[in-house]
Structure 1
Amino acid sequence: MTALPRTLRLALLGLRDLLASAGPVLVLAGAILVAAYWVLQPQPPASVTLATGPVGSAYAAFGQRYADALRSHGITVVLQPTDGSQDNLALLRQGQADLAFVRGGSADPVADEEAGLLSLGALFYEPLWVFYRPDALPPAARRAGPLQSLAALKPLRVNVDKPGSGVPDIVDRLLRANRLDPATVQLSHLAQAPATEALLGGLLDVVVLASAPESPHVQQLLRAPGIALVDLRQSDAYTRIFPFFSAVSLPRGIVDLAADVPADDVAMLAATTSLLVREQTHPALRQLFAQAAQGIHGGAGWFNRARDFPNTRTSELPVSSEGDRAINGTPPFWQRYLPFWASNLVERMWLVLGGLVVLLLPLSRIVPPLYTFRVRRRVFRWYAQLREIESRSEHGDEAPGRLLEELEQLDRVVDKVAVPLSYADELYALRHNIHAARKRIVARRLDMGD
């Protein structure tokens, strides 16, 4: 095999010495990074569970949009159908879901904060839709015009959704505020789909839904003939009694401009739905969901203008740092240029990387002395043999010819020693000393007449 050119051989030799000198520092840095990675677990799990709501509800539709958004980052969102907010809260508290949609007024701010539940921000208004059949009202009530008070529900057959939805609890509180004992009202607890059909079929008089306008059941009832909405003119008063409610208005014509549906503005109550998360859920997942919320809920809706949501103003629980940064802050610049896994790694490990730089700066000062020692040792190791030959020559114990043979052998070995050019003077000094020793031995040999 052809020998490498001397210049290339010297370059490779210098690189080897540099790597060997820096090796301990590099091994230490690697060990620290591996330990930090193991402790911090910067990469999130590949799967996360999101508690949504009943099949066909707005919660279920939004859950699918989150699943689609996170799929592009390699995260699988497992959608867990439930009966609604109360079920979602129960799953979060029990650790059976990582995130969940929860309507305002459902959570216990003190107990749930202590349980480690956080908010990623309020996402959208969830109005309280009180649909009724005008022909079910007593004649006097029909003549009075659109129904405007919940107190008028007492003689009617009212469906308030399944218990896990949280709607029964809300209606209970609203009825009591109107001095009505819920036990005296004909309440039923059908799910949204059968309740909608029962109202359309005349088997129910009133259906109360708490859902975003995107709900197919809401859309169906808004367009159904013979079905009207309670125009809750006391909505401002309710917001003073129940702070989790906001007074909103369904604008005239918003459902169908051509058909002028509704024919007038309708006053309503709405709670804000938040995306709640367990404190144990990986921070990277919280960040991804908070960022996805910007695109999913940032547009204008029937009850809000563009960029009104997501927000941190109406969250009942503390907003996590990821949610606050996504909603109110500016994302780090590297998120615009790096793929998710890389930007997340930088996000989670930057503190460790900064500390590592601080640690390695003083440690790196030992690399040049180590490098110098390794290179010079390649030369200085032969001085011991040279000194031993000279010592034997001075004592006259060895024949000059034998000593000269050893010097020749030493000179041939040293001639093959390779060092970087910056250290060549020390190699030349060694060969000069070998030559000087040879001259002294030759001179002594001549004096001895050998």
Structure 2
Amino acid sequence: MSKIRKFTQFSFRDLVATAGPTVLTIVALCALAYFLVDPSPPRSVTLGTGQENSAYEEFGKKYAARLGKHGIQVTLQRSLGSQDNLQHLNEGKVDIAFVQSGSTEQAEAQRKGLVSIGSLFTEPVWLFLREDAKVTQISQLKGLKINLGPEGSGVPKLFRQVLALNGIEPGDLTIGALENTPGTVELLEGRIDGLVFSSGPDAPLVQMLLQTPGFKLFDFTQAEAYSRRLPFVSHVVLPRGIVDVGRDLPAQDYHLIAPTATLVAREDLHPALIDLYVQAASEIHGGTGWFQQQGQFPSARYTEIPVAREAAKFYKDGAPLLQRYMSFWLANFFDRMWVVVVALAALVLPLSKVVPPLYVWRIRSRVYRWYGQLRTVEQELEAAQGPQRAQVCAGLLKRLDEIEEMVNQISIPLAFADGLYGLRSHINFVRQRVKNALA
């Protein structure tokens, strides 16, 4: 070690040795808290969608893309519809799913441990008929072949309620249970008279049938009455020309009844994922549409399932503060660890008062421990008597030279140099005593 480096402004090595145990303790506590205080959100989640070419499937792809930007892998699982998704939620096969309003009741949802993330959009009941079918009222469906879709969807249950309000028994018409896509094929081939399904206007089947000649959309002229009798549906209007203004499609306003699509999750879904889903819902469904105004959806209304606490907070106050300025994972880390940070702050304050005195003691101990050697030399000098006194004094002088050589190698910060020079002067003082005794 060069002579220049013997005196330094600051001893980093001593600081590390002094504060190291404290820092390691804090880091260990943070690591333990990271795994025990609140588990980190899972990196994958399963979303129950709907049938092929349905609006649920199309929106499921959008959710997967948005959550994928945050490192969350969304696995899409097709289903027959709302009833099927509810069953999958209850069985734990999916974590979150699209469910139509009216598919369950509040008490049943609470008993099953389900929570709503909010209503997303209206999905009207579309009744497409062959153009030659002279049907203007639901009661005129008697004797026709109508496909309502599989029992796993929410449409059969809903439309049977509509039939019941019109005094029609299910046996008064031939009901099909095909999925939407094969049911549409049957309608196009003329093997059935009508097709009923509930979906958002973005569904490819809706777009196709609205523009296919030879078929007509049933006009629910009593839609307002249905909305009063069935509280989970609302009255919406398909405006004239909304499909194609140039071709004037449709050529008139159509009155429809519409339940709402909701996003339902298991209550044990990680709160951070609920935050992420409701933010994605705001981006996907927050704009204007055929049946909605700007900002109408997503909403905590129009759902019979209790709304999750995190979703209700979003609808009231917006996105969590940290997630507005940080990435999802970093914001989630601080959100999970704030309790630990407060507890550690209470621990760090007293520890920070202990470290400086320990640092000072460690530096000064390099000097002080040599005073024990000097005291030993003085004790041996006092004990030396008789003819061997001269030999003992010579040995003590040699020992003092060795001590001085070792002291000269000490590296010490400048702030503590006075102690080092004091030690060297005391070595000379003891050396002089030995020389006097030897003389």
TM-score (norm 2): 0.92
Deviation at 1:379, TM superposition (A): 1.5
1:35 maps onto 2:32 in alignment: yes
Q: Please say if 1:362 is aligned against 2:350.
A: yes
In structure 2, the partner of 1:383 is: 371
1:14-93 → structure 2 map (5 Å cutoff):
14-40=11-37, 42-93=39-90
TM-aligned CA deviation for residue 87 of structure 1: 0.9
User: How many Å apart are 1:299 and its aligned residue?
Assistant: 1.4
1:110 corresponding residue in structure 2: 107
Number of positions where the alignment pairs a residue of Structure 1 with one of Structure 2: 434
Equivalent-residue separation in structure 2 for 1:129 and 1:287 (angstroms): 33
Match of 1:436 in 2: 429
**Which moves more between the two structures, 14-23 or 398-407?**
398-407
Alignment of 1:128 with 2:125, yes or no, is yes
Deviation at 1:4, TM superposition (A): 5.6
Matched, 1:162 2:155: no
Residue number in structure 2 paired with 1:421: 414
SS in 1 for 2:123: strand
Contact 1:10 1:420 in 2 (8 A): yes
Match of 1:256 among 233, 244, 248: 244
Structure 2 Cα separation of the partners of residues 65 and 256 of structure 1: 25
- Aligned partner of 2:255 in structure 1 is 267
- Preserved CA contact (<8 Å) 2:147 2:183: yes
Partner of 1:186: 174
**Amino acid in the other structure paired with 1:428:** Y
Post-superposition offset of 1:350 = 2.6
Worse overlay, 258-267 or 329-338: 329-338
**DSSP-derived class of the 1:376 partner:** helix
2:238 & 2:367 partners in 1: Cα distance? 90
Distance 1:87 1:417 in 2: 79
Is the 1:126–1:210 contact (alpha carbons within 8 Å) kept by the matching residues of 2? yes
Distance 1:207 1:9, change over 3 A: farther
Q: How does 1:127-146 map to 2 (within 5 A)?
A: 127-137=124-134
Name 2:198's counterpart in structure 1: 210
TM-superposed deviation, 1:91: 0.9
Measure, in 2, the Cα distance between the counterparts of 1:151 and 1:29: 74
More displaced stretch, 104-113 vs 85-94: 104-113
Counterpart pick for 2:291 among 291, 298, 303:
303
Q: Supply the distance in 2 between the matched residues of 1:173 and 1:28 (Cα, whole angstroms).
A: 65
Asked if the contact 1:102/1:275 (under 8 Å) is kept, the reply is yes
Which letter does structure 1 place at the counterpart of 2:298? P
* Contact residue 144 and residue 193 of structure 2 kept, 8 A: yes
Partner of 1:144: none
Deviation at 1:325, TM superposition (A): 4.3
2:164 paired residue among 163, 176, 196: 176
* Contact 2:129/2:195 (8 A) holds in 1: yes
Return closer, same or farther for 1:172/1:327 CA change in 2, 3 Å cut-off: same
Residue identity in the other structure for 2:412: V
The answer to whether the 8 A contact 1:42-1:349 is kept is no
Quote the offset at 1:203 in angstroms: 2.1
Any gaps of 5 or more consecutive residues in structure 2?
Answer: none
Percent identity over the alignment is: 43
Alpha-carbon deviation of 1:253?
1.2
Shift of the 376–310 alpha-carbon distance from structure 1 to 2, 3 Å rule, reads same
SS in 2 for 1:135: coil
Per-residue CA deviations over 1:353-387 (Å, capped at 9, x if unaligned) read: 23222322222221112212211221111111111
Q: How many angstroms does 1:27 deviate by?
A: 1.8
- Mapped to 1, the partners of 2:94 and 2:370 lie a distance apart of 71
Q: Deviations over 1:168-217 (max 9, x none)?
A: 11112222233322233321111111222222333222211100101111
**SS of alignment partner, residue 131 of structure 1:** strand
For residues 10-29 of structure 1, the C-alpha deviation after alignment (integer angstroms, 9 at most, x for no partner) is 467x2121112112221221
Following the alignment from structure 2 to structure 1, what is the Cα–Cα distance between the partners of residues 91 and 45? 15
**Shift in Å at residue 41 of structure 1?**
6.0
Question: Cα RMSD over matched residues?
Answer: 2.2
State the distance in 1 between where 2:27 and 2:169 align: 69
Q: Check 1:363–1:268 CA distance in 2 against 1; reply closer, same or farther (3 A cut).
A: same
Q: Distance in 2 between matches of 1:48 and 1:235?
A: 38
Three-state SS of the structure 2 residue aligned to 1:78 is strand
- CA offset digits 1:40-73 (Å, max 9, x no partner): 4654333221111111111111111112222222
Aligned residue identity for 2:358: L
Paired residues of 1:161 and 1:191 also in contact (CA < 8 A):
yes
User: Match of 2:184, as an amino acid?
Assistant: T
Partner of 2:274: 286
- Cα 1:5–1:172, aligned 2, differ >3 Å: closer, same or farther? farther
1:163 alignment partner, SS class: coil
User: Of 393, 411, 414, which aligns to 2:404?
Assistant: 411
Q: Distance in 2 between matches of 1:217 and 1:126?
A: 13
Q: CA deviation at 1:152?
A: 3.0
- 1:235 alignment partner, one of 223, 230, 250: 223
Q: 1:8 to 1:352 in 2, by over 3 A?
A: farther
Secondary structure of the corresponding residue to residue 79 of structure 2: coil
The letter for the 2-side match of 1:442 is K
> Are the aligned partners of 1:42 and 1:344 in contact in 2 as well (CA < 8 Å)?
no
Cα–Cα, structure 1 residues 4 and 86, in superposed 2: closer, same or farther, change >3 Å? farther
Q: Cα–Cα, structure 1 residues 378 and 46, in superposed 2: closer, same or farther, change >3 Å? A: same
1:334 deviation in Å?
Answer: 4.2
Give the secondary-structure state (helix, strand or coil) at the position aligned to 1:100: strand
